[in-house]
Amino acid sequence: MKLKKKERQEKLKEMIEETPFITDEELAKTFDVSIQTIRLDRLELSIPELRERIKHVANNNWNETLKALPIDEVIGEVVNLELDNLAISILDIKEEHVFSRNMIARGHHLFAQANSLAVAVINDELALTANAEIYFTRPVKAGERVIAKASVVGHDKKRTVVEVKSYVNSEVVFEGKFHMYRTTERKS
């Protein structure tokens, strides 16, 4: 049963407040309406599009927190960050990220998302990738959304080990273990 416009808009507002990174497409499926209807509802409710919601959350939450690089140098949109613990970013694969003949994402974009997230999670003024072990587990195509999750899994005085897994939906498409050099010694 379809909801009336007012009820739908109330539930839409609640859903976006609870899950700010939900897409218009996902909302359209949830409410069994067109994407255009969702966009019009958002407009009437003065709710910005997904990209603007992500930027707003990222700028408000992490501009002061990030130490090793500015937020605008992280590839993808940072949606969660706990220094020296975990970080999450989202990268929508667009035409400029793919090979024109097969629409498969160039590997350096997936690597850049993971590597910049590994740098961002480090609680230091300078963090550099000393070495990395990476694995691409399946091709990523134009139109897919890549969610990268970085976790600090170990450290010694001058190095931190960060594991990054990138997903499309719930499927792992990239895995990496980054050994990060940091300029200040970490106390154990």
pLDDT tens readout for residues 81-106: 888 899 889 999 999 999 999 999 99
Extents of the domains making up the chain: 5-47, 60-182
- Please state, in angstroms and rounded to a whole number, the distance separating the CA atoms of residues 187 and 51: 38
Query: Phi and psi at residue 154, in whole multiples of 5°?
Result: -175, 165
- pTM (predicted TM-score): 0.67
Element (H, E) at 39: helix 35-44
Three state DSSP letters for 97-166: HECCCCCEECHHHHHHHHHHHHHHCCCCCCEEEEEEEEEECCCCECCCEEEEEEEEEEECCCEEEEEEEE
Asked if pLDDT for residue 24 goes beyond 90, the answer is no
Q: pLDDT of 46-74, one tens digit each?
A: 887 876 766 665 555 544 465 656 666 78
CATH architecture of 5-47: Orthogonal Bundle (1.10)
* Matching fold, domains 5-47 and 60-182: no
> For 60-182, which CATH class?
alpha beta
